[in-house]
């Protein structure tokens, strides 16, 4: 595994040399820049994991460069400001712009190395937490004690020890991303980022930008491959990737480098690619809908993820895990499934796989009130029987409140339900509920439904 890449920007040669030597002794890879323009070039050459940035430099000072870096999508990595004659106002401004810390010169060796480690650790934890918030239920340890899942976990742990490309196949909702995370967790890349790109959610013509990033008007936007540098890129629904982007990805995997959109200098590929699909790629190859060379590049180590119907004995464990997760993360009330409900769910075919199971659990926890989940509740939640009319609304909304509040409460439950079904994909949800995306974003915000946290 490659060491973190640190960029040191300072117009004083002695400072650059001293800071660089200390960091290299600690095992970091160090590049340096003596002014803002050289720093811009270094950022174009490769994405750093950490930046030490001097405030007072000629022509382009550190605060101006920090402001430039923080525009649009925010800082590409933690930034630690340095100054020999900084003011409180300068430190406050740097913090407002997103700087992780502010070091005064002369910088002690201990302070330098401690701050670097803390900044990298905090950034990694932030990325991991964001990844876990994307979808409730992305467990590091795939749940199940069935023979097929036990063998699959062992297989994935063995594959994780080798840095080859991986192609996962399996039905939607079967746990492909969970196993990709599990593979990453057991690999030498575990301490580095795990980045997800779902090709089916990329706007038409945007695949190359999302994957490789771009250079425009002197600015660099890092794509998912660079965001995953040192770690793993999980490329889900790869069959939906545009043909032109497929060709670029195949070339990147073959040569170990790629070009950003609008860029001229090649960027080194330093991420493991784990691709996944629910489609038969070989069939798409024969139909000229998927590149044959990319298929064979990715299919070095194929992994088949079983459907839930192939491992029904795991249903009770999955139910318990989902209940525990929703009560812990979403603060939903704890409820137990009755024996009759569990027996029914063990025999159910689960066309939507684990995703359908988790959505069902979330639904009964939100809408039910008894301590025990009944057979009729799960049948209703899965559409097996119609909900009966009662004096109260079937979704559990009280009739003893003004119509405006009842309507808002129902709308929030409705949006939460479809947001969960769409796995946080607002474009997909907009199509399902028949609302244009801009209006849907507003409704989600108005009802307090966090979009980014999913």
Taking 90 as the threshold, does the pLDDT of residue 197 lie above it? yes
* Structural domains counted in the chain: 4
pLDDT of residue 1: 54
Q: Is residue 364 part of a domain?
A: yes
Higher pLDDT, 424 or 128: 424
**pLDDT digits over 278-332, tens only?**
999 999 999 999 999 999 999 999 999 999 999 999 999 999 999 998 998 888 8
- Per-residue pLDDT at 136: 38
Q: How confident is the model at residue 347 (pLDDT cuts 50, 70, 90)?
A: very high
Domain stop point among 261, 287, 306:
306
Strands 372-373, 336-337: pairing is: parallel
Query: Which pLDDT does position 140 carry in this prediction?
Result: 63
Per-residue pLDDT, averaged over 364-370, amounts to 87
Residue 392 included in any domain:
no
Distance CA 399, CA 402 (A): 8
At 135, is the pLDDT very low, low, confident or very high (cuts 50, 70, 90)?
A: very low
Least confident stretch, 126-135, 149-158, 329-338, 339-348: 126-135
What CATH code is carried by the domain that includes residue 450?
1.10.10.60
Asked if residue 29 belongs to a domain, the reply is yes
Cα dihedral across residues 426, 427, 428, 429: positive or negative = positive
Residue 238 has pLDDT above 60, yes or no: yes
Domain that holds residue 376: 308-387
412 and 370: one domain? no
Cβ neighbours for 288, distance < 8 A, ≥ 6 positions apart? none
pLDDT at 74 exceeding the cut of 80: no
Q: What's the pLDDT score for residue 32?
A: 94
Listed in sequence order, the DSSP H helices in 330-452 are 339-347, 353-367, 375-381, 403-421, 426-433, 437-446
Do residues 126 and 139 both lie within one domain?
Answer: no
């Amino acid at each position: 595994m490659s060491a973190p890449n640190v960029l040191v920007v300072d117009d004083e040669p002695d400072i650059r040399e001293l800071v660089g030597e200390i960091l290299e002794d600690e095992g970091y890879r160090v590049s340096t820049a003596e002014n803002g323009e050289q720093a811009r070039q270094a950022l174009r050459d490769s994405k750093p994991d950490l930046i030490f940035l001097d405030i007072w430099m000629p022509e382009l000072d550190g605060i101006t460069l920090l402001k430039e870096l923080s525009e649009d999508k925010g800082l590409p990595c933690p930034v630690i400001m340095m100054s020999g004659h900084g003011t409180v106002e300068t430190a406050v401004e740097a913090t407002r712009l997103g700087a992780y810390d502010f070091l005064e010169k002369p910088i002690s060796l201990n302070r330098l190395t401690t701050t670097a480690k803390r900044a990298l650790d905090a950034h990694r934890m932030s990325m991991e937490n964001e990844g876990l918030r994307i979808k409730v239920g992305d467990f590091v340890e795939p749940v199940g004690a069935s023979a097929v899942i036990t063998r699959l976990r062992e297989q994935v742990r063995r594959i994780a020890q080798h840095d080859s490309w991986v192609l996962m196949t399996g039905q939607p909702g079967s746990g492909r991303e969970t196993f990709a995370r599990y593979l990453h967790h057991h690999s030498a890349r575990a301490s580095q980022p795990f980045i997800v790109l779902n090709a089916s959610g990329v706007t038409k013509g945007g695949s190359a930008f999302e994957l490789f990033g771009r250079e425009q008007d002197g600015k660099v936007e890092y794509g998912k491959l660079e965001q995953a540098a040192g770690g793993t890129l999980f490329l889900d629904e790869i069959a939906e990737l545009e043909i032109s982007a497929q060709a670029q990805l195949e070339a990147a995997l073959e040569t170990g480098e790629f070009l950003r959109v609008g860029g001229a200098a090649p960027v080194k590929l330093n991420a493991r690619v784990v691709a996944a699909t629910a489609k038969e790629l070989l069939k798409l190859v024969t139909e000229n809908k998927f590149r044959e060379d990319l298929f064979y590049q990715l299919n070095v180590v194929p992994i088949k993820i079983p459907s839930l119907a192939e491992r029904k004995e795991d249903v009770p464990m999955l139910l318990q895990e989902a209940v525990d997760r929703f009560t812990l993360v979403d603060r939903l009330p704890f409820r137990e499934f009755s024996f009759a409900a569990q027996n029914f769910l063990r025999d159910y075919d689960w066309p939507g796989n684990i995703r359908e199971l988790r959505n069902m659990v979330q639904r009964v926890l939100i809408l039910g009130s008894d301590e025990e989940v009944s057979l009729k509740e799960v049948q209703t939640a899965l559409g097996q029987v119609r909900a009966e009319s009662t004096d109260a609304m079937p979704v559990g909304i009280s009739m003893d409140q003004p119509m405006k509040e009842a309507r808002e409460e129902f709308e929030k439950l409705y949006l939460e339900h479809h947001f969960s079904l769409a796995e946080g994909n607002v474009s997909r949800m907009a199509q399902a509920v028949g609302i244009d995306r801009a209006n849907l974003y507003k409704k989600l915000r108005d009802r307090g439904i966090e979009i980014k946290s999913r």
